[in-house]
Amino acid sequence: MTIKDRFTLIPRDQQLAIDQHFIAIIHALSRFETVQTTREQTKAIVNGDSTTNVSPEDQAIILRLKRGLTYIIEHDGPYQLQTSLEINSIVAEDEALAWGTLRTGQIQIGGVDFVPPIPVQATVETKITRILASDTSLTYRALLLMFNIMRDQLFWDGNKRTAVLTANYLMSHAGVGLVYVTENQLATFHRLLSDFYEAGEGPALTKLIQWTADNCIYGPSPLEL
């Protein structure tokens, strides 16, 4: 399939996109954990302002996402598995048996019959190398890696959050925009993702990547360029 980069941004404009979407990305990622904050409550927590009617657990999730997003902004260099391990160590801290390390036991994904095998580091690194070396756009490679991290369930917890931030690490440093799934897109996203979980590579993955590329890639607002 052919997925082109929607944006080709100079560093200043890529940073502008990050600044504009910073709260939106955190708010969107928190929905994966069924956090129930409003957008304004999320913003207040990120900015260190007081807010009410938000549980300490939800506040902690949002603050970990802020740290995770800050990590991918402040760190550069070629992507490697260690990058995702570092991201997971931030966003999944205190949420699972272990964080910042590959899963070492069996798990079940809710709502699907597919059971991901226990990841083996050498196999994971080989797959990463194959994906990143493919002769495709950076956007396509980032999305392909993102969805493989999700389906393979590399970590005990925080796989979707880690995967999306990993994709944004690749995309932001290449100047091709940002990716995230908004709250009103979740039903469609989860349906397509479940189809991919069950079917693996093939039409289900193609449909998922195409939908994400068409609906979930963001750049800076033209009004502020």
Q: What's the CA dihedral at 201, 206, 209, 210 to 10 degrees?
A: 180
Residue 212 has pLDDT above 70, yes or no: yes
CA 31 – CA 145 distance, rounded (Å): 21
State how far the Cα of 181 lies from the Cα of 179, in Å rounded to an integer: 7
**Residue that has been written with the tokens 């994966």 in this structure:** 32
Residue 155 has what pLDDT? 98
List, for residues 145-156, the tens digit of each pLDDT value.
Answer: 999 999 999 999
Partners of residue 217 on adjacent β-strands: 179
In the block, tokens 């996203």 appear at: 189
Instruction: Evaluate whether 140 touches 3 at the Cβ level (below 8 Å).
Output: yes
Cα–Cα distance, 18 to 74 (Å, whole number): 12
pLDDT digits (tens, 9 = 90+) for 64-116: 999 999 999 999 999 999 999 999 999 999 988 899 999 999 999 999 999 99
Q: In the chain, how long is the greatest CA-to-CA distance?
A: 49
**pLDDT score recorded for residue 183:** 95
Of the pLDDT bands very low, low, confident and very high (cuts 50, 70, 90), residue 225 is: very low
Q: What are phi and psi of 135, to 5 degrees?
A: -85, 70
* Whether the Cβ atoms of residue 197 and residue 114 lie closer than 8 Å to each other: yes
CB 11 within 8 A of CB 151: no
> CB of 170 within 8 A of CB of 37?
no
Q: What is the pLDDT of residue 97?
A: 85
Whether 222 shows a pLDDT value over 80: the answer reads: no
C-alpha to C-alpha distance for 193 and 208, rounded to whole angstroms: 7
Q: Is the pLDDT of residue 224 over 90?
A: no
Percentage, residues of the chain above pLDDT 90? 95
> Contact 209/121 with Cβ under 8 angstroms?
no
The CATH fold of domain 11-104+111-219: Fic-like fold (1.10.3290)
The arithmetic mean of pLDDT across residues 164-173, rounded, is 98
4-22 residue pLDDT tens: 999 999 999 999 999 999 9
Instruction: Match 């990590």 to its residue by tokens.
Output: 71
Q: Which of 200, 202, 191, 216 shows the shortest CA–CA distance to 139?
A: 216
* Residue 223 confidence (pLDDT) above 70: no
DSSP 9-52: --HHHHHHHHHHHHHHHHHHHHGGGT----HHHHHHHHTT---S
Tokens of 130: 């194959």
Interatomic CA distance for residues 107 and 105, integer angstroms: 7
pLDDT for residue 171? 98
